[in-house]
């Protein structure tokens, strides 16, 4: 397939994003320092808040891996225009692997099942001990990261190769890799979701949970990549690649992922609520005691209904500023949902928001964004030879 080359546009040295990175790093480090100090006095709260922040940013990176794979398989110019922002997010996975260390060290502070004493007195946890035990938990985490890092490495390397030559064999190789990626992604994320989130309440289980986390990660990836693209569009000359149609498509994808998230979340709620089995419904009861009820309501209204209604409008989807605002708002929404998933596992007395629940996401986010922007600036911000551009021309 003959592909037409696009100009290779890079982030120039005087670009505002270049300045934003170090600033984010400073903010992140300050917040991180506070979290670190706090951890000396209250390590339990620190690592629990840290998990919330970690899951938020990890979701963007992993979601990007999945969206990239879908694009390499299905094509479409919508994916080509956000390919580089997504790829830069997958290149943050080494940093995220490093940032996993506090969680690995804090297993005992996070998870009830990590205490042999508790397990010995709880027959259900004893039954699960073959899976929920500290060594196996760590081995699994190593396997997940090994798979994610390998995929991210290959996907980025071949993508840059494609920029140089536009060799159709590279395109083909990317497609093959993407198929394997989706299989591996589905399995690793499912089990990572069980390990890191579901097992916070080790008696509770829900089979849809892995899919729910995957849907959330896809949503995170779009919610993050769209504002990045809009900033790049408004500051660089990208008219040859990014058309209004593609912005509209991205808006539609964001809308679709909001609906997927709502669909999966509602399915889980409706099934558990209707069956009303004690071991399952207690998970929701913890999350609807006191103020948590209002957090849940917030999610329904502001993580679903409001962005859904905004994105129904064709006009809104064509305006970069509105799309970017919806994206950023949804990242905030993601934080609220992760807070709602994690925090009530420890609190049985209703809503409580710790300062660190806010600071830890900022700490990780600051460092992460700095790292992200370095990677974004490293290559052309729009792929030079994506076959999807040629298809769309056709």
Site of interaction with other proteins (CB under 8 A): 76, 124-125, 127-128, 131, 183, 186, 190, 194, 205-211, 252, 259, 263-264, 266-277, 279, 393-394
Q: Alpha-carbon distance 46 to 41, whole Å?
A: 9
Nearer to other proteins, 239 or 393 (CB): 393
Nearer to other proteins, 68 or 381 (CB): 68
Q: Assess contact for 367 and 32: CB atoms under 8 A.
A: yes
Beta carbon of residue 306, minimum distance to other proteins (angstroms, whole number): 16
Beta carbon of residue 209, minimum distance to other proteins (angstroms, whole number): 8
- What element of type H or E holds 241? none
Inter-axis angle of helices 43-74 and 16-41, nearest 10: 140
Q: Alpha-carbon distance 362 to 305, whole Å?
A: 26
Beta carbon of residue 283, minimum distance to other proteins (angstroms, whole number): 11
Tokens of 165: 């030559």
Nearer to other proteins, 12 or 279 (CB): 279
Beta carbon of residue 274, minimum distance to other proteins (angstroms, whole number): 4
Beta carbon of residue 228, minimum distance to other proteins (angstroms, whole number): 24
Nearer to other proteins, 163 or 280 (CB): 280
Beta carbon of residue 148, minimum distance to other proteins (angstroms, whole number): 19
Nearer to other proteins, 87 or 201 (CB): 201
Q: Report which of 280, 263, 174, 254 is spatially closest to residue 211, judged by C-alpha positions.
A: 263
Q: Alpha-carbon distance 386 to 5, whole Å?
A: 8
Nearer to other proteins, 158 or 191 (CB): 191
Q: Assess contact for 279 and 213: CB atoms under 8 A.
A: no
Q: Alpha-carbon distance 337 to 279, whole Å?
A: 22
Residues 280-304 as b/e (b if ≥16 CB within 10 A, e otherwise) read beebbebbbeeebeebbeebeeebb
Beta carbon of residue 273, minimum distance to other proteins (angstroms, whole number): 5
Beta carbon of residue 263, minimum distance to other proteins (angstroms, whole number): 7
Beta carbon of residue 275, minimum distance to other proteins (angstroms, whole number): 5
Nearer to other proteins, 259 or 325 (CB): 259
Q: Assess contact for 92 and 371: CB atoms under 8 A.
A: yes
Q: Assess contact for 360 and 25: CB atoms under 8 A.
A: no
Nearer to other proteins, 29 or 281 (CB): 281
Beta carbon of residue 384, minimum distance to other proteins (angstroms, whole number): 22
Q: Alpha-carbon distance 187 to 210, whole Å?
A: 9
Tokens of 317: 């989807």
Residues 45-69 as b/e (b if ≥16 CB within 10 A, e otherwise) read bbbbbbbbbbbbbbbbbbbbbbbbb
Q: What share of the chain is helix, strand, coil (3-state, %, to 5)?
A: 80, 0, 20
Nearer to other proteins, 211 or 233 (CB): 211
Q: Alpha-carbon distance 367 to 91, whole Å?
A: 14
Nearer to other proteins, 2 or 13 (CB): 2
Token match 């994690």: residue?
342
């Amino acid at each position: 397939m003959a592909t037409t080359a696009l100009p290779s546009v890079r982030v120039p040295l005087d670009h505002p994003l270049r300045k934003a990175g170090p600033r984010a790093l400073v903010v992140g480090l300050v917040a991180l320092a506070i979290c670190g100090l706090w951890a000396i006095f209250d390590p339990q709260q620190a690592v629990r808040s840290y998990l919330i922040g970690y899951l938020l940013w990890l979701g963007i990176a992993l979601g990007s891996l999945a969206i990239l794979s879908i694009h390499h398989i299905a094509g479409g110019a919508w994916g080509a225009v956000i390919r580089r922002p997504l790829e830069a997010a997958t290149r943050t996975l080494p940093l995220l692997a490093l940032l996993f260390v506090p969680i690995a060290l804090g297993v005992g502070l996070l998870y009830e099942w990590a205490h042999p004493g508790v397990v010995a007195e709880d027959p259900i946890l004893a039954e699960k001990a073959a899976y929920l035990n500290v060594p196996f938990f760590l081995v699994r985490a190593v396997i997940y990261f090994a798979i994610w890092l390998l995929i991210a490495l290959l996907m980025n390397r071949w993508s840059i190769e494609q920029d140089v030559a536009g060799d159709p064999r590279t395109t083909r190789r990317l497609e093959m890799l993407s198929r394997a990626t989706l299989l591996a992604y589905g399995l690793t994320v499912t089990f990572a979701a069980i390990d890191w989130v579901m097992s916070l309440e080790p008696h509770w289980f829900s089979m849809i949970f892995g899919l729910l986390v995957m849907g959330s990660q896809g949503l995170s990836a779009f919610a993050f990549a769209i504002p990045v693209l809009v900033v790049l569009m408004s500051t660089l000359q990208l008219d040859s690649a990014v058309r209004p149609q593609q912005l509209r498509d991205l808006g539609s994808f964001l809308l679709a992922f909001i609906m997927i998230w709502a669909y999966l979340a509602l399915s889980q709620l409706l099934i558990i609520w209707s069956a009303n089995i004690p071991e399952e419904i207690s998970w929701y009861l913890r999350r609807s005691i006191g103020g948590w009820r209002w957090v849940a309501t917030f999610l329904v209204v502001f993580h679903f209904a409001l962005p859904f209604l905004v994105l129904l409008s064709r006009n809104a989807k064509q305006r970069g500023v509105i799309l970017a605002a919806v994206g950023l708002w949804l990242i905030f929404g993601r934080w609220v949902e992760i807070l709602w998933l994690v925090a009530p596992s420890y609190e049985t007395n209703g809503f409580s928001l710790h300062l660190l629940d806010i600071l830890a996401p900022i700490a990780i986010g600051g460092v992460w964004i700095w790292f992200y922007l370095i990677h974004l600036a490293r290559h052309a911000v729009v792929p030079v030879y994506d076959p999807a551009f040629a298809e769309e021309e056709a």
